[in-house]
Amino acid sequence: MRKTVRVSVPRYVLDTHLLGHYKERTEYDVLDKNEDCQPGDWVLVKELPERISLRVAHKVERVVFKNGNIIDPLTKEKCFFTEFVKDVDQESEIFGLSPPYKSIQLPEEVPKLTEK
């Protein structure tokens, strides 16, 4: 079906035998009317009032973060994996290397989940 994307939703499940939480993924086929989603994007998914087809029961409400544009919600700084971009640039300058992320344009503020 056109205008659908496959979304993987992680959740943690308690293993009662080992008493530990383990990540399990559930995959959904989701309606993307505007075709805004790219692989790796973080999206907000909402359940439809009625199914469109046997496999499609949800829709993409909005794209929260584009792939590669992760912003820490507490500090509002751009991240690359587990490090802040400005820290990586400072370390590069200290060691005499050219900063790899200096040319990246940062958004003004972090989008809130309640905004559209």
Phi–psi pair at 93, nearest 5 degrees: -65, -35
Q: Which domain, by its residues, includes 99?
A: 68-110
Beta-carbon neighbour count of residue 79 at 10 Å? 15
51 and 101 co-located in one domain: no
17 and 36 co-located in one domain: yes
How far is Cα 51 from Cα 90, in angstroms, rounded to an integer?
51
58 and 101 co-located in one domain: no
Element (H, E) at 88: helix 85-94
The token duo for 45 is: 């998914």
How far is Cα 65 from Cα 90, in angstroms, rounded to an integer?
25
**How do residues 59-108 score in pLDDT, each as one tens digit?**
999 988 787 777 787 888 888 777 888 888 888 888 888 777 666 565 55
Q: What is the pTM of this model?
A: 0.59
**How do residues 4-63 score in pLDDT, each as one tens digit?**
999 999 999 999 999 999 999 999 999 999 888 888 888 999 999 999 999 999 999 998
116: in domain: no
9 and 55 co-located in one domain: yes
